C-alpha cells in the first residue's frame, strides 16, 4: 500500500485578551482556541488545526491552500 503525505500551511492569529490568549486559524472556519499563555494558545491552535485537517480528510473535504496573510494594526480615535 502506497501512502502519500501532504504538507499544509496555515496562518494563525494569536491575540492577548482579558482571559489570556485567543488563537484562530482564519482559513479553517470554526478553528479557534485559547490558552493562559501565548505558548499554550499556540500549542492548542496547532492541535485544533490538526484535528480540523483529520476531520476534513475523513469526510473527503478539500483542505484549503495557504494564501498570503497580512496583519494590520488599525487605530481609531473618538
Q: What band does 3 get if pLDDT is binned at 50, 70 and 90?
A: low
* Cβ atoms of residues 20 and 37 within 8 Å: yes
3-state secondary structure of 72: coil
CATH number at residue 26: 3.30.160.250
User: Is 31 a domain residue?
Assistant: yes
- The pTM for the full model equals 0.83
Looking at the domain assignment, is residue 37 inside a domain?
yes
The label of the residue with cell 488545526 reads 49
pLDDT, tens only, 7-42: 999 999 999 999 999 999 999 989 999 999 999 999
For 47, the domain range is 13-58
For strands 20-24 and 32-35, give the pairing.
antiparallel
* In contact, 23 and 45? CB cutoff 8 Å: yes
| Number of domains within the chain | 1
Amino acid at each position: 500500500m502506497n501512502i502519500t503525505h501532504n504538507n499544509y500551511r496555515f496562518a494563525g492569529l494569536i491575540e492577548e485578551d482579558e482571559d489570556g490568549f485567543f488563537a484562530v486559524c482564519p482559513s479553517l472556519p470554526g478553528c479557534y482556541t485559547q490558552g493562559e499563555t501565548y505558548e499554550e494558545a499556540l500549542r492548542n491552535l496547532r492541535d485544533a488545526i490538526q484535528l480540523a485537517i483529520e476531520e476534513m480528510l475523513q469526510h473527503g473535504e478539500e483542505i484549503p491552500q495557504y494564501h498570503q496573510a497580512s496583519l494590520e494594526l488599525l487605530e481609531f480615535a473618538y
